[in-house]
Amino acid sequence: MRVFRTFVMLSILALMAHGCTRGGGDPADGDMGVGGEGEGEGEGEGEGEGEGEGEVPPGFCPEMITFIGQVTGPGSDVPNGGDAVFEPYDAGYDAGIGAVLAAIPAGRDPLDLDPPLMVTGATVIATNFFTDRFDVPPNQSRFWVADANGAIEVYLDFNDREIIPPFEIRVGHKVSFEVTQIGRYFDKGQILRTTAWQLDSVDNPVFVDDTNGPYTIDQIGQVVRVTGLLGGNPSGCGGDSQCWDLVRFGAEDDVIGIFRSESMFVETGLCVTFVGPLGWFQQSAQFDTINFDWVRVYD
């Protein structure tokens, strides 16, 4: 029953989302609400499965978390893959992400780069969802890349085919490209225009921070695995999304961050695991479930 209801929701929400997602880096009107940051959300959400977690009573969290989001190894469905590791990348792994982050403008206006900045062998650590209903699948125009110096979102206008990677984007890919425009969306930097894409290798290690917080603003974009209870009454936070406090199980006064979702299957008191890129909103960590493969609901 869960699989069926999730499939129906994904089909409906995915069709709605692609036409509503903003292109490039300009914020969409009306996306902001109390408690959350959004960029043309509504891209669907499901309930991923974790091996060995067993049945979990409502209001409780598993003792051992095995759910790993998109980082599901070779042979995974598009756009998932990669090899999950729980130790940070070696300090010598420099693909050029640090230089891109350092160049992000302080204001909201995009910055053209001439000459472009080079990114060489960055790891794709997360992507938007995949569907074959569109000429440019959402995972091709919105994804996250990282090296030892940090992570950043690649947010491309899917209407501009010249800047879209000419090969399939999957978690665990190492890619090289030139960055020709960057920008800022609230607290996070974004790569907005690119060229000269190359696929270097596949199914590489993907670092997942499984410390369960607390997090800092310097970790924006990095993949985190966080588990907690949805606390308090949800509040509207942009579009059809609702936001809850994500509180640490067994320490309900310890708020890890904001959990943001459009799903009708999440509610106060349930335990969830989120495995995806860390967001940030008003001095708080945010876990925004734009991809249905990023969340496991224990109900």
Q: Which of the four CATH numbers 1.10.260, 2.40.50, 2.60.40, 1.10.3470 does domain 83-206 have?
A: 2.40.50
pLDDT in tens, 107-135: 999 999 999 999 999 999 999 999 999 99
Structure confidence at residue 39 as a pLDDT band (50, 70, 90): low
Class of domain 2-72+208-298: mainly beta
Can 2-72+208-298 and 83-206 be said to share one CATH topology? yes
Residue 290: predicted pLDDT = 95
The rounded distance, in Å, linking the Cα atoms of 140 and 42 is 17
Residue 142: predicted pLDDT = 99
pLDDT in tens, 78-92: 999 999 999 999 999
Note the pTM of the prediction, 2 decimals. Answer: 0.85
H or E element, residue 281: strand 279-281
- Strand-pair partners of 294: none
Q: What tokens appear for 236 in the block?
A: 């509207």
Is pLDDT of 293 > 70? yes
* DSSP three-state, residue 258: strand
Q: Please compute the mean of the pLDDT values over residues 47-67 and round it to a whole number.
A: 75
Contact status, residue 98 vs residue 221, Cβ threshold 8 Å: no
Domain assignments of the chain as residue spans, ordered by start: 2-72+208-298, 83-206
- Using a CB cutoff of 8 Å and minimum separation of 24, what contacts does 3-11 make? 5/265, 6/46, 6/47, 6/265, 6/292, 7/46, 9/44, 9/45, 9/46, 9/263, 9/264, 9/265, 10/44, 10/45, 10/46, 10/129, 10/292
